[in-house]
Amino acid sequence: MAARRRVATARDPLSPTDCRARAVRLLMIRSRSREELRRALELRGFDGATIRGTLDDLSRDGSLNETAALEAFLLGRVGRLSRDRLRRELRQRGFPAPAIDAALAGVSDDADRELLERLLAKRSAEVASLPPEKRKRKIFDFLRRRGFGAAQIFDAMGEENGRE
């Protein structure tokens, strides 16, 4: 059984200074959405009013920038993960729906389909020496982990098999 990570708790849950210091440390690790940072501070035991005040201050001074956090998150993932997977992960991180929609507006159905086909070709080449059923399973699992739906994958794999 894996050990659970310990989370440092607030010494003074009502201290705006402690709350801000913890928030800044978390933001130094990586940019975060307002909601994700709120959850992290709440997990560490800070009071709700203190958290709200801290987040407002950080937003005002530019330390908490959701647009920059969203762009940083997408930077290494667009072109590797499906649009649906990106949307799901952004929602889990607490980004607002309008911001997610705006950020993913540039990822069209065609671009998603091209990504699927490119990943399918790459993975097919990597597992070409395996028996057909095992090869299909590995390709399917690989594409599912990238966020593509089963119907999309079966459709693309059917086309790929038709070319062989």
- pLDDT above 80 for 161: no
Domain coordinates of the chain in residue numbers?
Answer: 10-64, 66-107, 109-163
Report domain 10-64's class.
mainly alpha
Q: Which residues share a beta bridge with 81?
A: 78
Q: What's residue 9's pLDDT?
A: 85
Band of the pLDDT at 8, cuts 50, 70, 90?
confident
Distances (CA, A) of 87 to 66, 90, 125: 15, 5, 29
Band of the pLDDT at 149, cuts 50, 70, 90?
very high
Query: What pTM was computed for the model?
Result: 0.83
Q: φ and ψ at 73, to 5 degrees? A: -65, -45
Q: What is the pLDDT of residues 72-130, one digit of tens each?
A: 999 989 999 999 999 999 999 999 999 999 999 988 999 999 999 999 999 999 999 99
